[in-house]
Chains A and B, each alone.
Chain A
Amino acid sequence: MSSSLFPSISSLPAGTVVSALMAIQMKNLDALVAVQKMAMEGLGALARQQQEMLAARLTQAAALPDTLTEADPRIVLARPFDAVKTAILDGTAQANLLGELAARSGAEVAGLLQERFLSALDEAKAALLQAVPATRD
C-alpha cells in the first residue's frame, strides 16, 4: 500500500505540476515561519507577564509594614486576612491570564496551520486537476 496521498502523481506530465507543487511547498514553508514567529511572540508575552507579576508582588510586600502603624487594633487584626484573600484572588487571576495567553497562543498557531493546510489542499487539487485532461464521452 502506498503511503503517498497522491500515488499516481508520477504518471502526470512534469513541468506545470512540479512548479505548482513547488509553489505550494514554498507557501507551506512561509506558514511554518509565521507559526514559529507567533509561538515566540506568545512566549514573549508570557515572559513579560511574569516580570509584571514579580514587580507587583514586590510592591505589595513593600507596602506591608504600614500595618504596624495602624491605630485601630481591629484593623491591624483584619488586615493580614484581607491581604491573604487578596493574594489568593490576585494569584488566581494571574494564573488564569497566563493560562489564557498560553492557550490562545497555541490555538492561534493551530489556526494558522489549519488555514495553510486547507489552502494547500485546494491548491494541490487545482494543480492536479489542471494537469489531467478532462475525459470526453
Chain B
Amino acid sequence: MRLRTLLLALVLSLMQAGKASAADRLGRYPVDPAQVSVAGISSGAFMANQLHIAHSADIMGAGLVAGGLYGCAVLRADDSGITALASLATGACMRAPARLLPAATYAARIRRFAALGWIDPVETLGRSRLYAFTGRSDTVVHPETVRRAVAVYGLLGLPTAATSFSDGALAAGHGWVTQSYGMACGDTRPPYINDCDYDQAQQVLQTLYGPLEAAATQPSGRLIAFDQTEFAPGGDAAGHGLWHTGQLYLPAACEAAGANCRLHMLMHGCQQSAQVMGDRFYRNIGINEWADTNRIVVLYPQARSVSVADFRRPRPTDLFQVNPEGCWNWWGYAYDSRYLFKDGVQVRALWEMVQRVTGRANR
C-alpha cells in the first residue's frame, strides 16, 4: 500500500514538472521606468517596433534587426479596425519590396491609430532613439523593409541624430550578428545567429543608453525563468502564440533593492524561441555580457508555434490563423485583429511584463 502511494506521488510530481506553471511568477526589480527599451530580430523586430509605437510614451527607444515596419502586413485600415494578411507579411514585407507602400502611408496610418487612442500619441516618438540593421546578404527580410521602417520613424519626428542605421554595411545573412558566435556571417540558417566580427549587442545598447562600460568576459548575473501563462487571456498561452516560460537576466548589480537599473526587452525571431532551441538564443547573442556591467535587466519573452489544434473550437478559418514557426504576431494570427495596438494580445502581455518588472501601474 505504501509503495502504491509512493508511486502515485512520483507520477503526480513528474506530471507537475512537465506543466507550464513550473516557472516562478515574474517579479519586480529595481528598474527606472524611464529607462525601458525594446529590441528584436526578424519577427522580434516587427514586434519590438509594434510595442515601441504602441507605448512610445513609456519606451525610450527600439532596436530593429532585420525586420520591423509597423503595419506592414495590413491590407486595409479604417476607423473600425484593420485587416491583415499572412501573404502580405511573406510577400511585400519580406521578399517583394516593390509591393510596399510609401513610408508616408504607414506614417499616416500610425497618426490615425494614435488619434483613435489605440496607441500612444506619436509626438513622443520624436524623443526616442532607434537602432536599425539590415545585412547585405539578407534574403529573408528585404533591406527595403527596414529602410522603410526607419523612414517612417523620420516622418514621425525622430531626428536623424537619434538614429543609428547599419544599412547593408555588413554582408550578413538573416540573423542576429555577433562578435564571435554562430554561423558564417553571410549564412541564413538556424540558429540565425551569425559571426560577423560585429558586436550587435553593444551597438543596440549603446544607441539606446549611450556610452557603456566594457562588457563582462563572463556574465556574473543569473537567468530566471518566469511563468508567461498568467499574461495570456484566460491563461491560454498556446492559443495566443506565447510559450509557457520566459527568461529574465538579472545582473548581480541589480539584485539589491536600491539599485538603479534599466530594463531592456529583447525578442527572438521565428524558429528561435525556447520551444525550438532551448537556451541557445538568450545565452549566446552577447546581450547578457553588456547588461552585466551596465546595470541592465534583460527580459527575454518567448513566443511559440500555433497550430489548428491549439484553437479550442474548430472553425473553417483556423488554417489562416496558425503560426507554424513560432514567430511574434505581426500579421494578426490567432484571431487577433488588434495585434498592432495596446489591446493586442501579445502587445498587452509584453507590456504587462514590463509593468511587473518596473512596478509601474497601468496607464
**Do A and B actually bind?**
yes
Beta-carbon nearest neighbor of B85 in chain A: A100
**Cross-chain contact A104 with B320 (CB below 8 angstroms):** yes
If A99-B87, A100-B86, A100-B87 touch, whether A93 touches B316 (CB-CB below 8 Å) is: no
B98 within 8 A of A: yes
Taking the nearest CB of chain B, how far is it from the CB of A107, in angstroms? 4
**Cross-chain contact B315 with A114 (CB below 8 angstroms):** yes
Give residues of chain A (22-77) contacting chain B, Cβ–Cβ below 8 Å: 45, 56, 60
CA distance in complex: A100, B85 (Å) = 8
Taking the nearest CB of chain A, how far is it from the CB of B120, in angstroms? 31
**Cross-chain contact B317 with A56 (CB below 8 angstroms):** no
0/1 interface trace, chain A 103-123, chain B, CB 8 Å (1 if under): 110011011001000000000
Taking the nearest CB of chain B, how far is it from the CB of A89, in angstroms? 5
If A107-B317, A107-B320 touch, whether A94 touches B90 (CB-CB below 8 Å) is: no
Main secondary structure of the interface of B (DSSP, over half): helix
**Cross-chain contact A90 with B99 (CB below 8 angstroms):** yes
Instruction: Give the contacting residue for B99; candidates A93, A100, A103; CB below 8 A.
Output: A93
Sorting the interface of chain B by its residue count into under 10, 10 to 19, 20 to 34 or 35 or more gives 10 to 19
Which residues of B lie under 8 Å from residue A94 when comparing CB positions?
91, 96, 99
B92 within 8 A of A: yes
**Cross-chain contact A56 with B99 (CB below 8 angstroms):** yes
Give residues of chain B (186-230) contacting chain A, Cβ–Cβ below 8 Å: none
CA distance in complex: A107, B318 (Å) = 9
Sorting the interface of chain A by its residue count into under 10, 10 to 19, 20 to 34 or 35 or more gives 20 to 34
**Cross-chain contact A90 with B98 (CB below 8 angstroms):** yes
A127 within 8 A of B: no
Beta-carbon nearest neighbor of A53 in chain B: B99
A97 within 8 A of B: yes
Instruction: Give the contacting residue for A97; candidates B91, B316, B317; CB below 8 A.
Output: B91
B88 within 8 A of A: yes
Instruction: Give the contacting residue for A96; candidates B91, B319, B320; CB below 8 A.
Output: B91
B127 within 8 A of A: no
A92 within 8 A of B: yes
Beta-carbon nearest neighbor of A101 in chain B: B85
B95 within 8 A of A: yes
Instruction: Give the contacting residue for B315; candidates A89, A92, A104, A111; CB below 8 A.
Output: A111
Beta-carbon nearest neighbor of A110 in chain B: B316
A86 within 8 A of B: yes
Beta-carbon nearest neighbor of A99 in chain B: B87
Taking the nearest CB of chain B, how far is it from the CB of A47, in angstroms? 14
CA distance in complex: A89, B317 (Å) = 27
CA distance in complex: A110, B318 (Å) = 11
CA distance in complex: A94, B90 (Å) = 11
If A60-B98, A100-B86, A100-B87 touch, whether A93 touches B320 (CB-CB below 8 Å) is: no
Beta-carbon nearest neighbor of A96 in chain B: B87
Taking the nearest CB of chain A, how far is it from the CB of B312, in angstroms? 14
**Cross-chain contact A108 with B99 (CB below 8 angstroms):** no
If A89-B95, A103-B320 touch, whether A97 touches B315 (CB-CB below 8 Å) is: no
For this complex, 5 residue pairs linking A to B, each with C-beta atoms less than 8 Å apart, are A90-B98, A93-B90, A96-B90, A107-B317, A107-B320
* Given A93-B91, A96-B90, A114-B316, 19 further pairs, Cβ under 8 A: A56-B98, A86-B96, A89-B95, A90-B96, A90-B98, A92-B91, A93-B92, A96-B87, A96-B91, A97-B85, A97-B91, A100-B85, A100-B87, A103-B320, A104-B320, A107-B316, A107-B319, A108-B317, A114-B315
B interface residues with partner A (beta carbon < 8 Å): 75, 85-88, 90-92, 95-96, 98-99, 315-317, 319-320
